[in-house]
Structure 1
Amino acid sequence: MKLKKLLSIIFISLLVISCSSAPISGRKQLLLVDEAPLIQQSYTQYRQVLNQSVVLNNNDAKTVKKVGNNIAKAVERYFQLHPEERRSNIKYAWEFNLLKDKTPNAWCMPGGKVAVYTGILPYTQNEQGLAVVMSHEIAHAIAQHSREQQSQSMIQNGVGALLGVAFGVPQELYGSASNLIMLNYSRTQETEADELGLIFMKIAGYNPNYALTFWQRMAKASGGNQSPEFLSTHPNDQTRINNIKRFLQSEKFKNISK
């Protein structure tokens, strides 16, 4: 427990020193990794994924592109209204593709490259549901979560080496404590992506309340078979639903103009 408290102090101190804040939410971030090389690397990785996948061009794929472009325009609309909150000077090269894959998943790489798997479509069911998922994934990129995670990993590894050499802290003990802290940061990023996604949905003209319908559907599909929240990278379904309800009723969200 003492080690976990020490690590928490170290990570919080680094966040304060970093003087970076996430767009829109204003949450303190540790950003030690340069953005431009990360984005260029993501473009290369995206092309590799497409080359190794079955990229569809059916009606569902057209809907994916439609929703993606609507959310991307909403992002730009937000930053036109609030230019002081823009954190990236790089123009994103948006791209949206539907890949044939049974995994219920979607993701957005740094720089705006998005993939949606066909396995998520039975859960999204319609354009509104797709907007919930895609706005969430796009929000991860806008909030620079990949860059933040890489920066945190650098610090995690560096602090582990330091504690091992200076204080003889066993790597296994450090790893367990530091991983719990990293999981907590990951859940924070998930909640942040939910909230930013709701904002982008609203600006794009979608119904943000549909996020509750979607996550209730996901909760039902999981049948309550989830890991304990403190051991997970994501909030459990009910926590997520409660957080979304709270944000939808917040003054910040109500004051967002389309």
Structure 2
Amino acid sequence: MCRRLTILLVMLLPLGLGACATSPLGRSQLALFDDSQLQQQGAEAYQQYAGSHERATGATADYASCVANAIIRELPQGDGPEQWQVGVFKDDSPNAFALPGGYVVINSGMLKVAENQDQLATVVGHEMAHVLADHANERTSTQTLTQSGLGVIQAVAGSGGEQLATLLGAGAQYGILLPYSRKQESEADVLGLRLMARAGFNPEASLQLWQNMSQASGSNEPPAWASTHPSNGQRINALESHMSEAQQTAARAREASLRPDCQRP
């Protein structure tokens, strides 16, 4: 019986994963939800964050917004939301994120890790890439499908279903959801590198940014196999493999007089 139930879960998941869209890098994606649903959720999440955090003002807000807007102005036409909203908030945690619908959040603490405009552009480009690649839909769809599969297992197994679903849930977490998320993070690294280079920022700064992130995380960084993100070393290696292309993109941007000059406070 246990073997049959395990096979059933394995069969359920690829069924959903096969009904997919295609990411900007040509990777197959699962997309079960309507974009308008996720955009509404993005708007609500942004308002909730803005309501619980104090907005940064003055030079800090101007600087972070300058970097984000420089990237927004050079986004490929027709890609992503028509309008973007950038919010800079007083929060010491070095964090930034972007939400469906075109909302970019930058914590003031990120400026302690991103030491210049090019490093900050690496972070912002990465987070915006998540939105452009529809990663929120993909992640939500994958989690929904996984939970549905576990629900079927529990129903079929009867009284022993709860324990079995828990065990299989752990397997799904480490075997499906986390690796799937790492694929998204790696994809956002590459796409974000392209976005910041397209705006005229120096793509080589991305390497130093992730070195800074590694130092900031110290021994708190989990092993790559148990993390939603690749290790900082893995990210640096992947970025180096795409650096030549990004440098050419940045050179073309500079030839077109795209030279961001965001003044760090």
Q: TM-score range by the shorter chain?
A: 0.7 to 0.9
Unmatched segments (≥5 aa) in structure 1 = none
Alignment counterpart, residue 207 of structure 2, candidates 203, 212, 226: 212
1:61 corresponding residue in structure 2: 61
1:172 aligns with 2:166: yes
1:124 aligns with 2:119: no
Cα separation, partners in 2 of 1:114 and 1:161, compared to 1, 3 Å = same
Cα separation, partners in 2 of 1:51 and 1:165, compared to 1, 3 Å = closer
> Which structure is larger by alpha-carbon Rg, 1 or 2?
2
1:130-160 CA distance string (max 9 Å, x none): 1011011111111111111111111011100
Q: 1:214 corresponds to which letter in structure 2?
A: L
1:59-88 CA distance string (max 9 Å, x none): 12111111111111222xx2x3xx6xx5x6
Inter-partner Cα distance in structure 1 for 2:63 and 2:31: 34
Q: 1:121 corresponds to which letter in structure 2?
A: L
2:147 corresponding residue in structure 1: 157
The answer to whether the Cα contact below 8 Å between 2:17 and 2:142 also exists between their aligned partners in 1 is: no
Inter-partner Cα distance in structure 2 for 1:204 and 1:232: 31
1:51 aligns with 2:45: no
- Cα drift, residue 222 of structure 1: 2.7
1:213-232 equivalence runs, <5 A: 213-232=208-227
Alignment counterpart, residue 131 of structure 2, candidates 137, 141, 144: 141
- Cα drift, residue 255 of structure 1: 7.1
1:239 aligns with 2:229: no
Inter-partner Cα distance in structure 1 for 2:66 and 2:150: 45
> What TM-score do the two structures reach when normalised by structure 2?
0.84
The answer to whether the Cα contact below 8 Å between 2:20 and 2:31 also exists between their aligned partners in 1 is: no
Cα separation, partners in 2 of 1:5 and 1:248, compared to 1, 3 Å = farther
The answer to whether the Cα contact below 8 Å between 1:4 and 1:177 also exists between their aligned partners in 2 is: no
Unmatched segments (≥5 aa) in structure 2 = 254-265
1:104 aligns with 2:94: yes
- Cα drift, residue 12 of structure 1: 3.8
The answer to whether the Cα contact below 8 Å between 2:13 and 2:149 also exists between their aligned partners in 1 is: no
> What TM-score do the two structures reach when normalised by structure 1?
0.86
Inter-partner Cα distance in structure 2 for 1:216 and 1:6: 43
* Aligned-residue identity in percent: 34
Residues matched between the structures, number: 243
Cα separation, partners in 2 of 1:19 and 1:41, compared to 1, 3 Å = closer
Q: CA RMSD in A?
A: 2.3
1:149-200 CA distance string (max 9 Å, x none): 1111110111001122235651111111110110001111100110000010
1:195 corresponding residue in structure 2: 190
Q: 1:195 corresponds to which letter in structure 2?
A: V
Residue aligned with 2:97, SS: strand
